[in-house]
Amino acid sequence: MSGAVLQLVGVTQQYGEGETSVSALSGVDLTVDKGELVAIMGASGSGKSTLLSIAGGLQKPTSGEVVVEGTYLSTATRRDLAQLRRRSLGFVFQDFNLIPTLTAVENVTLPLELDGFRARVARRAGRDALASVGLEDKIDSYPDDLSGGQQQRVAIARAVVGGRRLILADEPTGALDSVTGEAVMKMIRHRVDQGAAGILVTHEPRHAAWADRIVFLRDGRIIDETQRHGADALLSSTR
């Protein structure tokens, strides 16, 4: 598919061997296109976070193939994978993963500086990214001086700075109140509407309803999916 940013083909992840082996993923096929947000839902232990980790090249599957913007991760070198994560992938985690000794703008620009951007250019891009999430007045603040919602917005700015094309969000609203959580979802949706592809792991139907497609996992397998027009019905059924 020409618009595909991410493709998982027959992806299996198995831990252990013999009778004690556990299959976290079993033959998963998934394609995410440019401008598409896909929500992954399922019970605890269904394989959601494993899928996200494999999609981002943080771990290799036992079998199957992962392709990000035409790059086959199975044959990519460690250096290639590191470069791909710095340039193309944006991660948003529930616990923010900010470095406490760096300011907001330093946290955002760190991936750019590691990729060889000059400090002045990186800082300008970081300021713009923080402004895009409403934190232009917090660029020199440290994480401990920010609220949970503000820290998550810094994490989103870091995920999108430099024009990253694949946003991977693992329960990004889990530590936030409902109002702030909705604001975070709006930001992720906006970035996808600008042309990125996105995967959102969530257990909240109201957040999954922001997605174009909802994929359901059970025991490491995709068992069902619904398009955006079906998300409202899903949300209504949980109220």
Question: 18-49: per-residue pLDDT in tens?
Answer: 778 889 999 999 999 999 999 999 999 899 99
Q: Does an H or E element contain 110, and which? A: helix 104-114
Instruction: Give the per-residue pLDDT at 93.
Output: 86
Q: What is the pTM of this model?
A: 0.86
Question: Residue 199 is part of which domain span?
Answer: 32-57+77-237
Instruction: Give the per-residue pLDDT at 2.
Output: 53
Instruction: Classify 127 in phi/psi space as left (phi over 0), alpha (psi -120 to 50) or beta.
Output: alpha
Instruction: Give the per-residue pLDDT at 138.
Output: 95
What span, in angstroms and rounded, lies between the C-alpha atoms of 232 and 210?
Answer: 10
Is residue 65 included in any domain, yes or no? no
Phi, psi (degrees; rounded to nearest 5) at 115: -90, 5
CATH code (residue 194): 3.40.50.300
Is residue 109 included in any domain, yes or no? yes
What span, in angstroms and rounded, lies between the C-alpha atoms of 191 and 154?
Answer: 14
Is residue 93 included in any domain, yes or no? yes
Instruction: Give the per-residue pLDDT at 231.
Output: 46
Instruction: Give the per-residue pLDDT at 82.
Output: 85
Is residue 11 included in any domain, yes or no? no
Instruction: Give the per-residue pLDDT at 16.
Output: 85
pLDDT per residue over 169-183, tens digit each?
999 888 888 888 888
Taking CA atoms, 40 is separated from 18, 44, 211, in Å, by 29, 12, 9
Instruction: Give the per-residue pLDDT at 183.
Output: 86
Is residue 232 included in any domain, yes or no? yes
What span, in angstroms and rounded, lies between the C-alpha atoms of 15 and 30?
Answer: 21
Is residue 25 included in any domain, yes or no? no
Instruction: Give the per-residue pLDDT at 19.
Output: 77
What span, in angstroms and rounded, lies between the C-alpha atoms of 107 and 126?
Answer: 9
Number of domains in the chain: 1
Is residue 89 included in any domain, yes or no? yes
Tokens of 165: 């094309």
Is residue 36 included in any domain, yes or no? yes
Please provide the DSSP assignment of 163-181 as one string.
T-SEEEEESTTTTS-HHHH
Low-confidence ranges of the chain (pLDDT < 50): 1, 230-231, 234-235, 238-239
DSSP state of 46: S
